[in-house]
Amino acid sequence: DAGVIQSPRHEVTEMGQEVTLRCKPISGHNSLFWYRQTMMRGLELLIYFNNNVPIDDSGMPEDRFSAKMPNASFSTLKIQPSEPRDSAVYFCASSRSGGVLREQYFGPGTRLTVT
């Protein structure tokens, strides 16, 4: 089975540009999570969806960040405008939700560099 797919794997952009990160969760998983990992702050949960509906976006750092999940097989995380402090590795993860909590399966991450 294919795991979580993220694209691009690497993104280098200039400050002020719009950045869109993409994620395809594992088929059959109905929960999706976006995380950001930096040396300073570790692994932070930005937002999560259940059945395509955003449940908690309290981790989104600023209004410059937005996320969508138009269907069960696709999600995007957009940063507009990007800033150098947004440089990080962004992970997407998915899991099966339901009565019993499930572990999350992570994608390979997108390494974002904003110059």
- The span of 16-24, 66-74, 79-87, 88-96 binding other proteins (CB under 8 A) equals 88-96
* Distances 17 to 66, 78, 85, 94 between C-alpha atoms, Å: 14, 11, 13, 28
CA-based torsion, 72, 42, 61, 83: positive or negative: negative
Nearer to other proteins, 30 or 81 (CB): 30
* DSSP states of 13-72: E-TT--EEEEEEPPTT--EEEEEEEETTTEEEEEEEEETTEEEE-TT--STTEEEEEEET
Pick out residues in 1-30 that bind other proteins (CB under 8 A).
none
Contact between 72 and other proteins (CB under 8 A)?
Answer: no
Pick out residues in 25-64 that bind other proteins (CB under 8 A).
31, 33, 42-43, 45, 48, 50, 55-56
Contact between 104 and other proteins (CB under 8 A)?
Answer: yes
Among 91, 94, 112, 114, binds other proteins (CB under 8 A): 91
Please report, as ranges, the residues that interact with other proteins according to CB under 8 A: 31, 33, 42-43, 45, 48, 50, 55-56, 89, 91, 93, 97, 101-109
